[in-house]
Amino acid sequence: MTVQRTLLLSLRPRFADAILNGTKTIEIRRRPVNTASGTPIILYASSPMMAVVGTAQLAGVDVYTPETAWRKYRRTFGLTRAEYDAYLDGSDVAYLLGLHRVNSLNEPLPLRHLREEGPFRPPQSFRYIAASDPSRLKNLVPA
């Protein structure tokens, strides 16, 4: 039996909102994300919101040079060219996470509630859900 990992993705609140409202369909990362299409994703909005706000599914990961990525997908990034260049400064490649099947939670799940079960640290960029993570988090996606 194959166990599917769940990706916990940290986002600035404005990008989380753009994903949830459908105007941002690709998330950019500087580090490789080695996971398969169909991987469940939990969307965590960082400070000042500090809450899980939704879920999505990974449509796929593409890797391009920053210039090629910008030329092909700039309308789906939800950021300006200056923000894009600053984020990828010094990177030879951009990892593009295609997101689909996006769902907003009816109520955001605040960080303080996640910590009621014990220590919980949201990632700076992304990580996979661990067995030690709160059950409220793990229950957001089907097993």
For the segment 76-93, what is each residue's pLDDT rounded down to a tens digit? 998 999 999 999 999 999
Q: What is the pTM of this model?
A: 0.92
Tell me how far CA of residue 30 lies from CA of 13, 82, 134, in angstroms: 19, 16, 27
Q: Which domains does the chain have, with CATH numbers?
A: 7-128 (2.30.130.30)
* Long-range CB contacts for residues 139-143, cutoff 8 Å, separation at least 24: 140/42, 140/52, 140/55, 140/105, 140/109, 141/6, 141/40, 141/42, 141/55, 142/40
What pLDDT is stored for residue 38 in this prediction? 95
Output DSSP code: residue 69: H
Residue 45 has pLDDT above 50, yes or no: yes
Residue 73 has pLDDT above 90, yes or no: yes
Residue 2 has pLDDT above 70, yes or no: no
What pLDDT is stored for residue 43 in this prediction? 98
* The pair of three-digit structure tokens given for residue 46, joined into one six-digit string: 């960082």
Mean of all residue pLDDT scores within the chain: 93
